[in-house]
Structure formats: C-alpha cells, structure tokens
C-alpha cells in the first residue's frame, strides 16, 4: 500500500468509542487489531526507508570522509512527516480496509 497518499490525520485526535467498537463489539479487540496493523505498517515503512537510504551508504572506514548528503536528509525528513502508523491503521479500519478474524469465535459458532 502507498502510505504517502493516505488520508490519515497527521496528528492525534480524539476518537469516539462507539465508532471503534462497531465492528467487533469489544474495544480491547479493536485496539489489538489496530496495534497489530500498526506494527505491520511500521515494519514496511522502516524497510522501505532503509532500502532508500542504502543507496547512499558509504562502506569506508575513514570517519573523515563522512559528509552530509542533501538527498538523504530530504528522504529522512519526508518519512518523519508521514502520519504515525497507528493513525494510518485507524484510517484503514475506519474505511474497512483491514481484514481480521477471531478464531475462538469461529470455533464457538461451530460447536
């Protein structure tokens, strides 16, 4: 997914508990779904950033040769300005883009 085009709020805002519990009926279950998705998003963003910064990596051992690279700084600043993974995850949940299931509930329905 392209997190650069997300509609998530760039800062923290208050959430209505009724909206959070509509889909699962349990606030704790919803928070766990959001936490797991936020961890996935965070990992993807970190991997993407590391790949982009790897292009600028210097493999010399000499500390005197280290210099500032303007492009590297701009890439880092861009990723810092993105909404936090938790906000992106909440936006995905609100838009119905997160698939989740609870195996314990499915097993209880079968019995």
Model pLDDT for residues 1-52, shown as the tens digit of each residue: 566 667 777 777 777 778 778 878 888 888 899 999 999 999 999 999 888 8
Contact 91, 41 (CB under 8 A): no
The upper half-sphere exposure of residue 67, i.e. CA atoms within 13 Å in the direction of its Cβ, equals: 4
Model pLDDT for residues 56-66, shown as the tens digit of each residue: 766 665 555 45
What is the rounded distance in angstroms from the CA atom of residue 100 to the CA atom of residue 29?
10
| Claim: this prediction has a pTM higher than 0.85 | no
Model pLDDT for residues 80-100, shown as the tens digit of each residue: 888 888 888 888 888 888 887
């Amino acid at each position: 997914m392209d997190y650069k085009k997300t509609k998530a709020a760039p800062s923290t805002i208050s959430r209505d508990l009724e909206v959070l519990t509509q889909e699962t009926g349990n606030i704790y279950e919803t928070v766990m779904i959001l936490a797991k998705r936020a961890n996935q998003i965070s990992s993807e963003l970190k991997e993407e950033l590391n790949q982009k910064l790897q292009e600028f990596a210097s493999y010399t051992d000499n500390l005197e040769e280290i210099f500032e690279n303007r492009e590297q700084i701009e890439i880092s600043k861009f990723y810092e300005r993105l909404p936090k993974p938790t906000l992106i995850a909440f936006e995905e949940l609100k838009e119905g883009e997160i698939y989740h299931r609870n195996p314990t509930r499915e097993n209880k329905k079968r019995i």
